[in-house]
């Protein structure tokens, strides 16, 4: 298939990719529009593009801090997949996958230890610890924190992420640097939230030094990425998802 996929030099030598929508043609989430069998086939083809013969292990995501340690891939179906928002493995042949549509997809790798991971981090998951939990789960498989590389894929950018006072109040005072004032609307105060910056800061605070950002805004790149916020503002009944994948070479 003619996939629209990006890689990053920080993960060179590790099979991985951040898949885009290819102009809206590719929709990778079981919860999104389209027939489930077609979504399954598309996901399998993407996994094959990442690693020949690789089998996809993608969890049922619920905006949690929970991590699934994968020893063998499971059946890729809308129902009965393990629940969690990150996956890690030390098993060759398993292609880890997570879907997003504005939230941050983060791919992790410690090639020397032979451990990889993938996490889905929206604001809630990032606050609740999904990134730190992913790193800890990788360490449990033999990874070394100082050797783990992490790359943030396409995520809604600060200028596209307007939030209100109740959202702002969920964050401690030390997170104020991730909020920029936005014009008032209907007399209420608004901010722009820097989700990518917040994620990168959490990774750094967790002790990672090899960190990168693809700097792709899912909201504004209409032809390249699905966006939950864009679909919501357009009054659409549903929205598509990207997928990000990583595997051991």
What are the pLDDT digits (tens) for 58-114? 999 999 999 999 999 999 999 999 999 999 999 999 999 999 999 999 999 999 999
pLDDT value for 107: 99
Read off the pLDDT of each residue in 197-207 and give the average, rounded to a whole number.
98
**Would you place residue 128 in the very low, low, confident or very high pLDDT band (cuts 50, 70, 90)?**
very high
Q: Write out the two tokens for 238.
A: 């549903």
Q: What is the Cα–Cα distance from 19 to 247, expressed in whole angstroms? A: 14
Q: What is the Cα–Cα distance from 170 to 174, expressed in whole angstroms? A: 12
Task: Kindly tell me the sign of the dihedral angle through the C-alpha atoms of 245, 246, 247, 249.
Answer: positive
Which helix (H) or strand (E) element contains residue 202? Answer: helix 195-205
Q: What is the mean pLDDT of the chain?
A: 97
C-alpha distance from residue 232 to each of 8, 215, 235, 240 (Å): 30, 22, 5, 11
C-beta neighbour count of 140 within 10 angstroms? 13
C-alpha distance from residue 248 to each of 136, 145, 203 (Å): 18, 18, 22
All structural domains of the chain: 5-247 (3.60.140.10)
Q: What is the Cα–Cα distance from 194 to 85, expressed in whole angstroms? A: 20
Q: What is the Cα–Cα distance from 74 to 136, expressed in whole angstroms? A: 23
């Amino acid at each position: 298939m003619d996939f629209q996929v990006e890689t990053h030099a920080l993960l060179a030598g590790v099979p991985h990719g951040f898949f885009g929508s290819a102009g809206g043609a590719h929709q990778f989430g079981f919860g999104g529009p389209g027939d489930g069998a077609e979504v399954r086939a598309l996901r399998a083809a993407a996994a094959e593009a990442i690693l020949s013969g690789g089998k996809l292990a993608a969890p049922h995501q619920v905006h949690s801090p929970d991590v699934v340690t994968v020893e063998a891939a499971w059946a890729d179906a809308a129902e009965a997949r393990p629940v969690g928002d990150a996956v890690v493995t030390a098993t060759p042949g398993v292609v880890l996958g997570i879907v997003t549509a504005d939230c941050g997809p983060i791919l992790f790798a410690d090639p020397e230890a032979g451990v990889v991971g993938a996490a889905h981090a929206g604001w809630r998951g990032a606050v609740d610890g999904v990134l730190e939990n992913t790193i800890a789960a990788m360490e449990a498989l033999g990874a070394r924190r100082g050797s783990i590389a992490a790359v943030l894929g396409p995520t809604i950018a600060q200028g596209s992420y307007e939030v209100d006072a109740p959202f702002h109040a969920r964050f401690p005072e030390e997170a104020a640097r991730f909020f920029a004032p936005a014009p008032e609307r209907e007399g209420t105060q608004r901010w722009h939230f820097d989700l990518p910056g917040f994620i990168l800061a959490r990774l750094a605070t967790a002790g990672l030094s090899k960190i990168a950002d693809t700097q792709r805004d899912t909201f504004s790149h209409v032809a390249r990425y699905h966006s939950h916020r864009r679909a919501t503002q357009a009054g659409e009944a549903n929205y598509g998802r990207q997928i990000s994948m990583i595997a051991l070479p």
